[in-house]
Every structure is written in C-alpha cells, then in structure tokens.
C-alpha cells in the first residue's frame, strides 16, 4: 500500500506519536509508485516500476535531535523506529539552532492528483514510447527518450497537534531525435500532473523537425547576440538564481544579494545586510511562487508544517522577499518566509517559480526579430562566480540563426558565459509562459547574451 489516504496517514501517524517519550516528536510519511520506460536507437532499452513508502521519525530532548526511518508498519516496527530516533537524539550533540515544533495550522486545499496519471500501466507506457519511436523511424531519424509517471503522497504530524497531507501525480517526458548520420539533433520535453495532456507524438514531431532542420549547421563567430531562449534554455539558470536567494547567505556576505559598499562608500553598522528592496532587474521581471496555481500545484505547507501561500520574490524588477529559516528569521527579527515542501519523493526538487510573461508565442517572437539566435535548450551549466552569478554552459539540440523574422539556417552550438542577473536586465520581450520542470517560464528575447566559444558537438 504505497499510497495512503489522508485518513489512513493520520491514523498511522497518531499511532507512531503515541509511542513517543521525547520532549518533542515529529514524523513524516511519504510514499510513491513510479513507472518508467526508456528507449534509444528506436528501440525500448529498459523499463520498470518502483513502489516505496517510508516513515521518518524525529525525536528531540532539549536541543538534541535524532532521526530514524523505516518501511515496515506493524506496531512493533513503529515502536522500534521511535525508540531508535530517541537513542540517536541522546547521542547527538546539542544543536544551538534547534527551534521548537510548530502547532496546528489551517492549510489551503491543493488539487494536484489526476486519476489519468495514477492509473498508468506498462502497456500505456509502451504505447506512448511507440508514438515517439514509429514516426522517428518512418522519417529515417533515430529517437531516444524517457517517460516517467509518478503518484505519491506526503503526510506529517507532531506531538504539538500539527497534521498536514498532500497527494499528487506527475508525468514527465523527454525525447532526443538525431539524424541517422548524427549531423542533426532535436529535443523536446513535457511535464504535467495530468498525463492525458502529455502527447509524446506531438513533442516528438517538434524534436524530429529540429533534428532535420539542424543538419549542416554553419559557424557563427562567438560574441554578444540577441537570443530567444525557449523556456528549457533558461529554466536552469533561473532555478540556480532562485536557489541562491536565501536571506541567511545574503546576510552572511556570501551571496549575490549581500549588501556591499560601493567604491568609496562606508556602510553604517546597522545598515541592512542584504539587498531586499533594491531594483536589480528590468521592471518587467515578476517572479513568485503559488501552491494553488492550477498549472503547477505544490504542497501548501513547508517542511516544518508552516502554511505556505503565494509569495512574491521579485516584483517589477525589485527584490521583494527572501526565504529564510525560522531560526534566522527570529535572530534577525524579520517574519518567517517558508517555501513549499520539496523534500524527498515526488515532491523533491527546487523552488517552484512562476514568471510573468506576455501573450506572444515563440513564433510571434521569431517573426519580430531582425537578427538573433534561437536556443532550444542549454546544458552542463556550472557556476563561475557566485558573487555575480556568472555561469557557463552550452547550447544543445537545435540552435538557429534568425534574420528578418525568419529562421535562416542552423548554427553550430555555442558555449556561453552569462549571468541570469544580466539576462534579466537585458530583456527585449517576454512570451507566453509554459510549464517546464514544475515551473512556469516564458520564452525570452534577451539582447547582448554572451557566447564565448564554438562547440563542434551536435
């Protein structure tokens, strides 16, 4: 029984808490069933189904904390896991930053479950893989892809009366199509809570077209270009920026949001240590999180059980809010800013980002570009300087030269050295946001994007 209902989860956690002898006890129950199919060279290579449920118990005596987990649910096992966490807590050194547990709270109701996804079978997966492989083979192309569907739940409770529950389904798909001679390569990806929206054939058609159109790429000199970044080309850079937006790191002087004196300036002792309130980006930049967004729902509570609602991180280019821990919020005398639970299992991952865009489609954006480069996706992104958020990486699977509103020809891939901060200052146009990796990101037209060298990779 990998998927517990709210009532089943609550009953089990209540039983666990009854065994506790610690000052404070909190437990989390998380389960999922994940199926996948993988193919390459136009044939299925591997597929599988994994089911798992884990109970984690955290016990505390004063500021000493221990955690233990188990995946057996008879009474003896439940008591054993509680005792284990208590033993570990007694062995642990005191954590000076330990915060007392939170009490009960009311949470918004989130709708993230779709029966279509929850009822996927191996035959469905094979069919969806075939809808990608067959058209590729027919067009003398070679497809490699991966489809995964997950249903899962997470519940938490503590001995102060807190209880929270969330369940969700998710399906994600990526496909790379290459020409038989390896001179062209295209890519597409889709992810939804509802697998019935996931059309592997349609996504594969885009990848097939890009693969065909990218054969015989020409060389362009590296330099600064106006680029149109499809959401897959910018999502990692933006995600890296979002993860670096932490109040504590900023206050401690080790973030791009640490307040530093300008040349010749002396900051008073009590000056703010971070850059909340500063305009760092173009005024069209608005980024927020919202657990209730119907396209990209997340749990409406954080890992410590605090309710999470809509939080605006950047408004009209101004840094509005930075997430923090309860310890740091208390120490610096500011409100606690939790983020939605994204621990293990289905909900593991980064910060959900919703970025405002416009109405323009990708095609519209290409049509009103005089000269530029269309980037399908970026790859192998690594930090060069955490102070300026300078990153390096490469374009991949479909890079094209645009002239007078049309794609003229494919070009060789570039290495870029660029910062999302600079990018978000050089916005020309934002298109209609699309879901990617659980976030909503618009295609963006950016001027003066820095390509530093050429790559022969296809």
Tell me the C-alpha to C-alpha distance, in Å, between residue 307 and each of 55, 155, 338, 381, 397. 22, 14, 8, 33, 41
Count of residues for the chain? Answer: 458
Beta bridge partners of 190: 173
201-230 residues near another protein, rule: CB under 8 A: none
> Smaller CB distance to another protein: residue 361 or 388?
388
Interface segment toward another protein; rule CB under 8 A; list 21-29, 101-109, 127-135, 368-376: 127-135
DSSP classification of residue 196: G
CB of 404 vs another protein, minimal distance in Å = 30
Q: What is the distance between the alpha carbons of residues 195 and 104, in angstroms, rounded to a whole number?
A: 34
Both tokens assigned to 337: 């800013």
Nearest approach, Cβ of residue 367 and another protein (Å): 30
Q: Are 390 and 417 in contact (CB under 8 A)?
A: yes
Per-residue DSSP letter, 61 = E
Query: Residue 131 interacts with another protein (CB under 8 A)?
Result: no
Query: Residue 414's beta-bridge partner residues?
Result: 454
CA distances from 138 to 7, 18, 60 (A): 51, 62, 62
Nearer to another protein (CB atom), residue 147 or residue 365: 147
> Which residue in 145, 184, 239, 372 binds another protein (CB under 8 A)?
145
Nearest to 124 by CA among 200, 189, 66: 200
* Binding residue (CB under 8 A) for another protein from 107, 113, 146, 153: 146
Please, which residue, 271 or 367, has the CB nearer to another protein? 271
> CB of residue 195 vs another protein: minimum separation in angstroms?
17
Instruction: Please name the residues in contact with 218: beta carbons below 8 A apart, sequence gap of 6 or more.
Output: 401, 409, 410, 411, 412
Shortest distance, position 133 Cβ to another protein, whole Å? 7
Which residue in 2, 101, 118, 126 binds another protein (CB under 8 A)?
126
Count of chain residues binding another protein (CB under 8 A): 99
Q: Which residues of 52-84 are buried (b: 16+ CB within 10 A; e: fewer)?
A: ebebbbbbbbebbbbbbbbeebeeeebebbbbb
Which among 46-54, 312-320, 353-361, 400-408 is the span making contact with another protein, rule CB under 8 A?
46-54
Interface pick for another protein out of 144, 155, 232, 446 (rule CB under 8 A): 144
Question: What is the nearest approach in angstroms of another protein to the Cβ of residue 277?
Answer: 15
Stretch that binds another protein, among 288-296, 338-346, 400-408, 428-436 (CB under 8 A): 338-346
Q: What angle do CA 284, 445, 412 make, to 5 degrees?
A: 155
Where in 360-389 is the site for another protein (CB under 8 A)?
379-388
| Closest to 31 measured CA to CA, from 57, 2, 56, 5 | 2
**From CA 324, how far away is CA 333, in angstroms rounded?**
11
CB atoms within 10 A of CB 438: 22
Q: Confirm or reject binding of residue 243 to another protein (CB under 8 A).
A: yes
- Cβ proximity to another protein: between 139 and 254 the closer is 254
**Among the candidate windows 104-112, 237-245, 283-291, 367-375, which touches another protein by CB under 8 A?**
237-245
Q: Is 343 within 8 Å of 198 (Cβ atoms)?
A: no
Considering only 5, 21, 48, 224, the residue that binds another protein (CB under 8 A) is 48
Q: How far is the CB of 355 from another protein (least distance, A)?
A: 18
| Binding track over 71-110 against another protein, x by CB under 8 A | x------------x--xx--xxx-xxx-------------
- Residue 356 or 390: the one with the smaller Cβ distance to another protein is 390
Q: Which position among 100, 161, 182, 272 is part of the footprint of another protein (CB under 8 A)?
A: 182
Contact call for residue 116 and another protein (CB under 8 A) = no
Distance in angstroms (rounded) separating the CA atoms of residues 101 and 163: 12
Distant-in-sequence, close-in-space partners of 161: CB < 8 Å, separation ≥ 6 = 103, 104
Task: Please report how close the Cβ of residue 291 comes to another protein at its closest, in angstroms.
Answer: 18
Under the binding rule (CB under 8 A), the answer on residue 422 touching another protein is yes
Residue 10 engages another protein in binding (rule: CB under 8 A):
no
Q: Among 34, 32, 77, 37, which Cα is nearest to 57's? A: 77
Q: Which of 10, 226, 258, 311 binds another protein (CB under 8 A)?
A: 258
Least gap, CB of 403 to another protein (angstroms) = 25
Separation between Cα atoms, residue 96 and residue 64, nearest integer Å:
9
- Closest approach of another protein to the CB of residue 44, in Å: 4
Q: How many CB atoms neighbour CB 386 within 10 A? A: 14
Which helix (DSSP H) or strand (DSSP E) does residue 145 occupy? strand 141-158
């Amino acid at each position: 029984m990998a998927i517990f209902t709210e009532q089943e989860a609550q009953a089990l956690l209540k039983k666990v808490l009854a065994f506790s002898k610690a000052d404070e006890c909190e437990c989390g129950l998380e389960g999922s069933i994940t199926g996948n199919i993988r193919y390459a060279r136009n044939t299925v290579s591997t597929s599988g189904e994994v089911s798992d449920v884990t109970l984690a118990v955290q016990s505390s005596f004063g500021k000493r904390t221990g955690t233990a987990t188990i995946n057996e649910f008879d009474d003896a096992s439940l008591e054993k896991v509680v005792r284990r966490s208590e033993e570990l807590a007694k062995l642990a050194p005191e954590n000076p930053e330990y915060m007392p547990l939170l009490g009960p709270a009311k949470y918004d109701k989130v709708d993230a479950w779709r029966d279509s996804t929850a009822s996927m079978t191996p035959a469905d997966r094979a069919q969806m893989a075939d809808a990608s492989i067959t058209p590729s083979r027919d067009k003398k192309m070679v497809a490699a892809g991966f489809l995964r569907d997950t249903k899962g739940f997470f519940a938490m409770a503590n001995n102060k009366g807190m209880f929270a529950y969330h369940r969700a389904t998710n399906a994600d798909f990526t496909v790379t199509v290459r020409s038989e001679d390896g001179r062209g390569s295209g890519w597409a990806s889709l992810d939804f809570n509802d697998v019935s929206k996931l059309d592997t054939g349609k996504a594969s058609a885009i990848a097939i077209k890009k693969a065909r159109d990218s054969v015989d790429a020409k060389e362009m000199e590296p330099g600064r270009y106006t680029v149109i970044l499809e959401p897959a080309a910018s999502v990692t850079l933006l995600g890296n920026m979002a993860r670096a937006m932490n109040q504590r790191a900023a206050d401690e002087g080790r973030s791009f949001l640490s307040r530093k004196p300008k040349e010749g300036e002396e900051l008073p002792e009590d000056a703010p240590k971070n850059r909340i309130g500063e305009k760092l980006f173009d005024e069209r930049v608005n980024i927020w999180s919202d657990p209730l967004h119907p396209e990209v729902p997340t749990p409406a509570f954080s890992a410590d059980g605090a309710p999470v609602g809509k939080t605006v991180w950047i408004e009209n280019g101004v840094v509005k809010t930075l997430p923090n821990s309860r310890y740091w919020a208390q120490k610096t005398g500011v409100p606690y800013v939790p983020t939605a639970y994204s621990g293990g299992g289905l909900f593991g991952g980064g910060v959900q980002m919703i970025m405002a865009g416009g109405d323009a489609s990708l095609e519209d954006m290409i049509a009103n570009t005089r000269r530029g480069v269309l980037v399908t996706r970026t790859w192998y992104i690594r930090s060069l300087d955490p102070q300026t958020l300078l990153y390096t990486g490469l374009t991949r699977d479909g890079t094209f030269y645009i002239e007078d509103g049309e794609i003229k020809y494919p070009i060789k891939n570039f290495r870029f050295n660029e910062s999302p901060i600079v990018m978000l200052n050089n916005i020309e146009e934002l298109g209609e946001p699309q879901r990617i990796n659980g976030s909503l990101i618009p295609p963006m037209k950016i001027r003066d994007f820095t390509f530093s060298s050429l790559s022969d990779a296809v």
